[in-house]
């Protein structure tokens, strides 16, 4: 025997209203007015002979989908309370704020890489001294390392371009466009691609020095 599911109109109205209440864009008065409208609509449809569930379904369709209603009321109300204010603020500024964080991360990454090269520059005189102590001919800094040392004065350029891009995002781009992930991916890829050659360039003088040491250096006395 099939069991008929009883349609509870009161619960249906309650659920419909609760669904709309989740959005910060409806005020209590708006919900009351929309519910009054829906109740009028359902009453009229029922008086024409429709069952409660049919009348409710048609009534809600005529009032509009929650998404469409939200869009319309968003322009009017914005939101309620400090939580919604905060959420709206974060929604509007999320993309820009994240760009700022990624810029800081990118600049810090670039500074770390620059620091690696700077350290290699600082230990170079020590390597030269060690060469003379080990009575090994000093062959100079490897060309690959010299190339990166020569690039060091221009190391500020990538963060500068990133900052200019962030400036564009802050002033021009719509908040709705979440371009932060693309920026994050680009920044990470750039740092990663630079990391390997920079580490090699920084380590080469040390490797080169170790390579030139006579074999006896590492022999036990």
Partner 1 sequence: MLSKELVAASTVPLVLSVLTGGENYGYALIQRVRELSGGRVEWTEGMLYPVLHWMEKEQLIESDWREGDTGRKRKYYRLCKKGRNALRQEREQWMTIHETLTKLWQPQSSST
Residues binding partner 1 (CB under 8 A): 29-30, 32-34, 36-37, 39-41, 43, 62-64, 68-69, 72-73, 75-76
DSSP-derived secondary structure letter, 17:
H
Please provide the distance, in angstroms rounded to a whole number, between the alpha carbons at the two ends of the chain. 98
Q: How far is the CB of 58 from partner 1 (least distance, A)?
A: 11
Decide whether 69 or 136 has the Cβ nearer to partner 1. Answer: 69
User: Does residue 119 contact residue 109 with C-beta atoms inside 8 Å?
Assistant: no
Q: How far is the CB of 88 from partner 1 (least distance, A)?
A: 18
Decide whether 8 or 76 has the Cβ nearer to partner 1. Answer: 76
Q: How far is the CB of 188 from partner 1 (least distance, A)?
A: 43
User: Does residue 159 contact residue 103 with C-beta atoms inside 8 Å?
Assistant: yes
Q: How far is the CB of 79 from partner 1 (least distance, A)?
A: 15
Decide whether 58 or 107 has the Cβ nearer to partner 1. Answer: 58
Decide whether 29 or 137 has the Cβ nearer to partner 1. Answer: 29
Decide whether 13 or 97 has the Cβ nearer to partner 1. Answer: 13
Report how far residue 105's alpha carbon sits from residue 94's, in angstroms, rounded to the nearest whole number: 16
Query: Long-range contacts of range 66-72, CB-CB < 8 Å, 24 or more positions apart?
Result: 66/19, 66/20, 66/23, 69/20, 69/26, 69/34, 70/20, 70/23, 70/25, 70/26
Q: Would you say how long the chain is, in residues?
A: 221
Q: How far is the CB of 44 from partner 1 (least distance, A)?
A: 8
């Amino acid at each position: 025997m099939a069991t008929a599911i009883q349609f509870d109109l009161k619960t249906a109205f309650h659920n419909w209203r609760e669904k709309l209440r989740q959005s910060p864009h409806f005020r209590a008065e708006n919900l009351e007015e929309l519910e009054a409208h829906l109740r009028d609509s359902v009453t009229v449809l029922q008086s024409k002979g429709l069952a409660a569930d049919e009348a409710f379904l048609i009534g809600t369709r005529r009032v509009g989908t929650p998404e469409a209603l939200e869009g319309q009321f968003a322009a009017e109300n914005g939101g309620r309370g400090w939580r919604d204010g905060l959420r709206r603020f974060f929604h509007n500024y999320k993309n820009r704020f994240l760009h700022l964080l990624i810029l800081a991360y990118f600049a810090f990454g670039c500074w770390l890489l620059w620091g690696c090269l700077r350290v290699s520059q600082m230990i170079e005189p020590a390597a030269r001294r060690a060469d003379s102590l080990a009575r090994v001919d000093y062959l100079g800094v490897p060309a690959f390392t010299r190339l990166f040392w020569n690039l060091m004065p221009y190391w500020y350029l990538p963060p500068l371009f990133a900052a200019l891009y962030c400036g564009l995002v802050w002033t021009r781009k719509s908040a709705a466009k979440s371009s932060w992930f693309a920026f994050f991916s680009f920044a990470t890829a750039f740092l990663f691609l630079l990391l390997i050659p920079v580490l090699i360039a920084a380590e080469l003088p040390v490797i080169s020095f170790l390579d030139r040491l006579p074999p006896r250096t590492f022999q036990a006395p």
